């Protein structure tokens, strides 16, 4: 066990040290002109002000929820929850700190050469990538070492805690499973706040800046006269950097812990016939050999993702220290491929030299392939290199209404291929290893997350760098270089988005499965059930009055669960449009009250715009977050665990389709606009362009606020069900 | 039995005779000026040309599918299918015939007084309402009488037919259940073609006419110089009248036959423990009393809906012969309420004087209440009398992007209340009577369909009448009267839409339940299963290798099923936008090539526009229809019946949310535009109005093409699964 836990511990420390080194290498670069320093200062202080205010809200929420966990369960649960939450917060801050250091320095490097600019931007992204993976893993190592007792096979059992000493109020759980679940829940909750708050911030600023700047005043993007331009650049950092980091951190943790929880339930229920079958699929001949090899399987997720981190580090070094001056697009793609292949190799070595089944290797490989596949499909539907987005661009010639309508249709259509792939991957992984095979596949998809985040984060840095170039009135070739930088990251970023959606589906399924095992297993104070998930729910179905009729409640749960993502999305979209509406009025006010802003004689009041946007993001993030937290708890308390299983599956189904629809509609509308700007169908300022700008604005909150937040929503709801499962009755309270 | 079947037979004949009388009363009215006659002639011939072309496509499809049913099963099945299809076709034609007679006559009557206009329009609508209900019921009576042998308790059993004499290719079914299912399938298939083809037609014409007419040429709606104006008016008839009639006919039949199929399965499996429980819930003490009272319960649906038809006829007479000259809004509402109350009374009398349980009465009542409730919620979200639509109108001041974004958010938010109501109604009806209770509730919701259709149809007639008034250059007060006529129908029409969506959810659930019973019951050549729906699917779940692992296939089925409505919707939206795109070019061509059209010296070429639109509707309706027909069959053949259950439930969940979202987004965007046109937020030609026009155009295909078609999609997929169930393997073929 000591060796097995040492590997991830050492590797996560190495990852954090590399992140630190990358950060230093960025900070040492020159910042450029005074004007650039000044703008960078505005952006940094705006971003930090927002993140700190957001963190305050989160810390209070965390304190309350942690206290509830302490009272209901044990102090260890609360502590694990806090560790998860704090590390997630930290990941957001570290990444954003690096990004706001790297932006102006990327601009400055771009004055020299394209390659220099890439190096700075990618180093900034790598800080985030390595921090996310390193923090997630070191946190799990800490939790496992700190509470080692509760992961020991000898202490693994279903225990009961009587609330307030009342025997009727007993809750049942495996403490080790609850500890890692609470850790994951902490990370998820912070991620949801980050994504929702940051997502509303970034898109409200973006929409308002565009609507007044581009449409009404006919000034370019990032024109320093636009009062909202700094807020827009702050948004890139708090939404696209901070939000993304926290998001992938929580996906990563969720995927790991759903395997760990299942392993613990399999171990506790190993004498029970159906679970005994899973023992074979994990690679053990019988329960005795499972006893002997327990730590191998219990810590397998940590070791496998540690291999993924090593693979990502090597790939990052390959890209960062590549000597090539041109064709950086293919260097990035090769880096991503390298990370995937190396992850496969390390996983194979681990499975080969451990007592575990080689099927686990295949499940991880399947995750890697499915992730790349979903990403490729996203790219197909949203890149202007392919037919769908080109056709959308063409249809914009018929005006904004047709453009938006076609964009929505494209998004709906784009569910086709990814969902088939997800369904196929579920089938194959299930055949390979049952439900825990599905969980291993989710983990495989996320195993080289450090690389994915690095590439995803470098895009917004390049975007910011371009903004700073324009605002500092640098020569146009600087902006051109940063634009190229931005655009070559797009392909890999599309693949990153595919991983986010695909892994969300798998990780949520793993968490729901773990919930059903734990919920029904512990309820009866016996073994986990014979029939997991829907089976266990529905074994209670019966038209006869003699058996408890929970069937209709499952269907009602499915219906209500499927509705939650819609209401959640509506709140997010409204958060964006209403915040941006207030901001639009402020920008108009500044322009009309002070004509010297437009003539360039006086500076716009950036701070008021930043304050308004931040207020909007903060005030509108709480209700959606509470929907995610409270609906599973309230539903579970009233309708019981079986119906809650239906509720979660309904939410999963609905959220996956909506997330793909929103992400690809918005992505395609954005790229159709860019394609027109490149000179197609009339180019800039043509009728088609005007229509495409409207489409892009409609698509913005869909792709950058709603889509990513839905991914977190379903995982957060599932992990909350997993943590609170033992509180809920089995059947509806009124039956 | 003879008495019981005589009641619905007599009542359906009475309904058809009343429809005939109403039709005559309409035709006898004067048509007005020559110009009016001419325009009416254009509309009539355009509508008939389209419907006939559409019917040809359908007849060929029907012939093929009927032949397949004959080969696979028996001739009775094919005949029942054809009867259903032909009656559905007939309902569309009769309604459209009446509507295209009534439109100009309503205009003419409006020259005299508002009340006269209302009488003509409402009479026209009543023809459709009474025909729909009468045809659906008479068809069922014919099928039951024609194939009486297969509904007799003595012949009810699960039989096997060996295909081509090969014993391995046996299919199993209850013939009576299959006959009524095939009848329903025929009606559904025609309805889907009508809704999709008509929906694409009407919205493509509407969008194109608005985009060139209002936006580019700045001419009013229905201006005779617009070459697409006749196509637009034809669209109202083929989409809103023909499509709607076929739609509600198939809902009505689906709701009735799902009860009948369940009754037959309960009868066949009456000795089996769980189904024996349902016998009590139907009101029978034991199997012996079920034997004695078999016809009561088997024909109960026919008698109950016959009561609904009587209630509707009385309500229609009340409205038609009301002496009031003002407050027609409340007369219409009172009529709807009267129909609901009278339906409740007739149902109560039937349940009271029959051996059936009074719970059935409560289930019907629940359906009535839930239908009105869902309709009221639709109205709340989409009427400019309430806050959501007013706020949307206000947000349009910030431009089209914000308007569209807010409209989409409103639609997503609007799933909240209706879905809660649907879930609650499912729970209550299940508690009252198990799954067959859910089916009775669906039937209750649709029982006074004649009244709903009459009110829904009178709207498009008034709309057409207004168009004819403008095109014939009648004094503005005529148009004002027809506009008032149109608007007071809106409230009751919103309630009608609520019934359509709510009943689709319930009827589909009933059909899926019937599918699961029949599929799994007949597969084993034994009794229906102990655990219906999800239960039966999932009883096969197991992590052990020893039991067949169908679990993952159910989850994959849920995922894939949930994707189908998105792809289907995308095809519909594209059908509209691409057809309208071609039409836009044609309209522009006519205006630019012949300036005399704009100056009013020469007539526009209406026919080319009609031909283009019709071609678009016809060519783009086939693929979506085939998706509905083929996906459940292909999926069932490959993945088997358990997984198909998951597929259907996934499709149901996804379609319900999408349908509510689309219907209410579009409805609210339409009414926000009208609210602005009434003079709010700047009134006509203000910036807000321009934004709202864009929003309305985006919303048009959502509310009038996608939303209603989704309702049919899920029912058609479910009924196809029900008919073909016995062909499918139980488990995936590769297991």
Q: What is the pLDDT of residue B546?
A: 32
Say what the pLDDT of residue A24 is.
Answer: 95
Q: Are strands B158-162 and A170-174 parallel, antiparallel or unpaired?
A: unpaired
Reported confidence tier of residue B538, pLDDT bands at 50, 70, 90: very low
B311 or A273: which carries more pLDDT confidence?
B311
Cα–Cα dist A305/A317, whole Å = 18
Q: Does B396 touch chain A (CB under 8 A)?
A: no
| DSSP reduced 3-state for B4 | helix
Name which of B423, B547, B563 is nearest A559 (Cβ-Cβ): B423
Residue B729's pLDDT is 77
Determine the average pLDDT of the residues in A111-129.
92
Q: What is the band of B434 on the pLDDT scale with cuts at 50, 70, 90?
A: confident
- The span from the CA of A555 to the CA of A290, in Å, is 38
Using pLDDT thresholds of 50, 70 and 90, give the confidence band for residue B520. Answer: low
Query: Which residues 590-649 of chain A have a CB within 8 Å of chain B?
Result: 649
Q: Provide the chain B residues 225-264 that lie in CB contact (below 8 A) with chain A.
A: none
Q: What pLDDT sits at residue B519?
A: 62
Mean pLDDT, residues A341-353 = 95
Mean pLDDT in chain A?
Answer: 87
Out of B404, B535, B657, the one facing A539 most closely (by C-beta) is B535
pLDDT class of A269 with cuts at 50, 70, 90: confident
Q: What is residue A176's predicted lDDT score, i.e. its pLDDT?
A: 92
Partner-chain residue, chosen from B532, B558, B584, that has the shortest CB–CB distance to A543:
B532
The pLDDT tens digits of the residues spanning B335-379 come to 888 999 999 999 999 999 999 999 999 999 999 999 889 988 988
Going from the C-alpha of A351 to that of each of A1, A364, A510, A728, B213, the distances in angstroms are 16, 11, 21, 38, 69
Instruction: Please tell me the predicted confidence (pLDDT) of residue A551.
Output: 65
Contacts of B438 in chain A (CB under 8 A): 552
Mean pLDDT of A594-603: 87
Q: How far apart are the first and last CA of chain B?
A: 47
More confident call, A275 vs A646: A646
Per-residue confidence at A491, pLDDT binned at 50, 70, 90? Answer: low
> Is the pLDDT confidence value at B632 over 80?
yes
CB neighbours of residue B114 within 10 Å: 19
Compute the C-alpha angle B686/B236/B614, nearest 5°.
Answer: 110
Please, which residues bridge with residue B160 across strands? B172
> So what's the pLDDT on residue B602?
87
Output the pLDDT for position A522.
41
Write the pLDDT tens digit of every residue in A699-713.
999 998 999 999 999
Higher pLDDT, A296 or B332: A296
pLDDT at A433 over 80: yes
Are the beta carbons of B678 and B391 closer than 8 angstroms?
no
What digits encode the pLDDT tens for the residues A177-218? 999 999 999 999 999 999 999 999 999 999 899 888 887 888
- For residue B494, is pLDDT > 80? no
Residue B272 has pLDDT above 80, yes or no: no
Local structure of A171: helix, strand or coil: strand
CA distance, residue A83 to nearest chain B CA (Å): 33
Looking at the DSSP assignment, which residues form a beta bridge with residue B171? B161
What is the 3-state secondary structure of A263-303? HHHHHHCCCCHHHHHHHHHHCCCCHHHHHHCHHHHHHHHHH
More confident residue, B729 or B204: B204
Structure tokens at B414: 């609007």
| The two three-digit tokens of residue B401, written as one number | 């992007």
Mean pLDDT, residues A346-363 taken together: 93
Q: What span, in angstroms and rounded, lies between the C-alpha atoms of A506 and A442? A: 5
Q: Among A304-313, A511-520, B171-180, B502-511, name the one with the lowest average pLDDT.
A: A511-520
Average pLDDT of the residues in A717-734: 84
Q: Is A729 on the interface with B (CB under 8 A)?
A: no
Say what the pLDDT of residue A536 is. Answer: 36
**Confidence bin at B550 (pLDDT 50/70/90):** low
Write down the pLDDT at residue A170.
Answer: 65
Q: Do B551 and A426 touch (CB under 8 A)?
A: no
| pLDDT score of A281 | 80
pLDDT at B547 over 50: no
CA dist., res. A581 & res. B188, Å (int):
45
The answer, yes or no, to whether residue B400 has pLDDT greater than 60, is yes
Q: What is the DSSP letter of A539?
A: T
pLDDT at B530: 31
Residue A121 vs residues A101, A103, A455, B664: alpha-carbon distances, Å: 10, 7, 10, 45
Q: Residues near B416 by Cβ (< 8 Å), separated by ≥ 6?
A: A563, A566, A567
CA–CA distance, B607 with B597 (Å, rounded to integer): 14
Residue A509 confidence (pLDDT):
86
Return the pLDDT at A273: 56
What is residue A272's predicted lDDT score, i.e. its pLDDT?
Answer: 66
Residue B540's pLDDT is 36
Residue to substitute from A212, A267, A357, A543, interface B, most B β-carbons within 10 A? A543
Residue A601: pLDDT over 80:
yes
Q: Provide the chain A residues 139-178 that lie in CB contact (below 8 A) with chain B.
A: none
Q: What percent of chain B has pLDDT over 90?
A: 55
pLDDT at A267 over 70: yes
**pLDDT for res B548:** 35
pLDDT digits over B178-237, tens only? 999 999 999 999 999 999 999 999 999 998 998 888 878 888 888 888 999 999 999 988
Residues facing A679 on adjacent strands: none
Cβ under 8 Å to A: B residues 441-500: none
The predicted model gives A100-109 an average pLDDT of: 94
Q: Does A97 touch chain B (CB under 8 A)?
A: no
Question: How many other β-carbons are positioned within 10 Å of the β-carbon of residue A71?
Answer: 12
The whole-angstrom separation of Cα B202 and Cα B700 is 10
Give the nearest partner residue to B534 out of A419, A541, A574, using CB atoms: A541
Sequence-distant (≥ 6) Cβ neighbours of residue B142 within 8 angstroms: B83
Name which of B271, B401, B639 to mutate to probe chain A: the one with the most chain A Cβ atoms within 10 A of its Cβ: B401
pLDDT at A544: 30
What number is the average pLDDT over the span A548-558? Answer: 71
Residue with tokens 């960062």: A320
B216 part of contact set with chain A, CB < 8 Å: no
CB-CB: which of A402, A426, A505 is closest to B577? A402
**pTM beyond 0.90, yes or no:** yes
For B171, the 3-state DSSP assignment is strand
Average pLDDT over residues B625-654: 91
Residue B384 gets which letter from DSSP?
Answer: T
CB proximity A668 to B under 8 Å: no
- Contact (CB, 8 A) for B636 and B644: yes
Chain A CB within 8 Å of residue B569 CB: yes
For residue A542, the SS3 value is: coil
Structure tokens at A507: 């990780």
| Chain B residues lying within 8 Å of A653, measured CB to CB | 558-559, 562, 650, 653-654
Across the interface, of A404, A412, A419, the residue whose CB is closest to B404 is A404
How much is the average pLDDT of A235-255? 88
The pLDDT of residue B551 is 65
Whether pLDDT at A489 is above 80: no
Nearest-CA residue of chain A relative to B701? A405
Closest alpha carbon to A565 in B74, B612, B419: B419
Q: B488 to each of A491, B61, B459, how far by Cα in Å?
A: 53, 39, 9
């Amino acid at each position: 066990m000591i060796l097995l836990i040492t590997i991830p511990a050492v590797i996560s420390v190495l990852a954090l040290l590399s992140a630190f080194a990358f950060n230093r290498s960025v900070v040492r670069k020159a910042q450029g002109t005074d004007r650039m320093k000044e703008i960078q200062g505005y952006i940094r202080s705006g971003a930090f002000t927002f993140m700190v205010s957001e963190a305050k809200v989160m810390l209070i929420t965390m304190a309350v929820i942690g206290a509830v966990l302490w009272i209901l369960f044990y102090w260890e649960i609360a502590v694990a929850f806090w560790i998860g939450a704090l590390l997630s917060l930290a990941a957001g801050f570290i990444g954003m700190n690096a990004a706001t250091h790297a932006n102006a320095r990327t601009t400055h490097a771009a004055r020299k050469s394209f390659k220099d600019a890439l190096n700075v931007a990618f180093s900034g992204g790598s800080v985030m990538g390595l921090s996310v993976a390193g923090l997630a893993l070191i946190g799990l190592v800490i939790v496992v070492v700190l509470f080692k007792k509760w992961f020991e096979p000898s202490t693994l059992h279903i225990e009961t805690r009587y609330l307030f000493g009342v025997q009727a109020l007993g809750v049942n759980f495996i403490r080790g499973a609850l500890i890692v679940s609470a850790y994951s829940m902490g990370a998820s909750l912070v991620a949801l706040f980050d994504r929702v708050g940051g997502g509303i911030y970034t898109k409200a600023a973006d929409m308002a800046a565009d609507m007044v700047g581009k449409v009404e005043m006919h000034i370019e993007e990032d024109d320093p006269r636009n009062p909202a331009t700094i807020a827009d650049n702050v948004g890139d950092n708090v939404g696209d950097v901070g939000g993304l980091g926290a998001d992938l951190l929580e996906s990563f943790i969720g995927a790991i812990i759903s395997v760990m929880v299942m392993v613990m339930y399999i171990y506790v229920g190993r004498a029970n016939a159906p679970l005994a079958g899973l023992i074979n699929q994990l690679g053990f001949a019988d329960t005795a050999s499972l006893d002997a090899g327990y730590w191998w399987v219990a810590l397998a997720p940590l070791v496998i993702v540690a291999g993924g981190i090593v693979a990502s580090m090597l790939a990052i070094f390959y890209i960062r220290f590549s000597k090539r001056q041109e064709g950086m697009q293919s260097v990035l793609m090769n880096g991503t491929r390298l990370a995937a292949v190396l992850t496969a190799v390390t996983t194979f070595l681990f499975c080969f030299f451990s007592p575990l089944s080689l099927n686990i290797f295949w499940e991880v490989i399947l995750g890697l392939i499915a992730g790349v596949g979903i990403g490729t499909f996203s790219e197909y539907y949203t890149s202007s290199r392919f037919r769908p987005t080109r056709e959308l661009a063409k249809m914009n010639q018929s005006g904004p209404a047709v453009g938006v309508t076609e964009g929505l249709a494209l998004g709906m259509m784009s569910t086709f291929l990814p969902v088939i792939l997800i369904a196929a991957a579920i089938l194959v992984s299930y055949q390979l290893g049952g439900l825990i095979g599905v969980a291993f596949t989710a983990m495989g998809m996320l195993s080289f997350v450090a690389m994915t985040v690095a590439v995803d984060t470098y895009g917004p840095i390049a975007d910011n760098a371009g903004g700073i170039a324009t605002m500092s009135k640098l020569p146009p070739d600087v902006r051109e270089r940063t634009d190229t930088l931005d655009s070559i990251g797009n392909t890999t970023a599309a693949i990153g988005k595919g991983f986010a959606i695909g892994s969300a589906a798998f990780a949520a399924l793993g968490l729901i499965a773990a919930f059903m095992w734990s919920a029904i297993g512990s309820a009866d104070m016996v073994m986990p059930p014979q029939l997991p998930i829907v089976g266990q729910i529905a074994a209670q179905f019966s038209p006869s009055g003699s058996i408890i009729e929970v069937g209709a409640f499952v269907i009602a749960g499915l219906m209500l669960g499927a509705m939650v993502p819609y209401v959640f999305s509506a709140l997010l979209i409204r958060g964006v449009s209403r915040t941006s509406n207030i901001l639009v009025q402020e920008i108009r006010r500044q322009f009309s009250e002070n004509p010297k802003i437009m003539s360039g004689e006086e500076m716009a009041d950036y701070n008021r715009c930043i304050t308004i946007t931040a207020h909007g993001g903060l005030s509108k993030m709480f209700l959606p977050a509470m929907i995610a937290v409270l609906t599973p708890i309230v539903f579970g308390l009233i309708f019981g665990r079986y119906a809650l299983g239906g509720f979660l599956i309904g939410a999963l189904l609905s959220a996956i389709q909506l997330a793909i629809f929103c992400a690809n509609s918005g992505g395609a509308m954005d790229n159709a606009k860019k394609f027109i700007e490149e000179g197609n169908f009339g180019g800039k300022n043509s009728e088609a362009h005007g229509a495409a700008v409207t489409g892009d604005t409609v698509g913005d909150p869909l792709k950058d606020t709603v889509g990513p937040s839905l991914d977190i929503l379903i995982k957060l709801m599932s992990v909350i069900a997993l943590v609170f499962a033992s509180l809920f009755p089995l059947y509806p309270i009124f039956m």
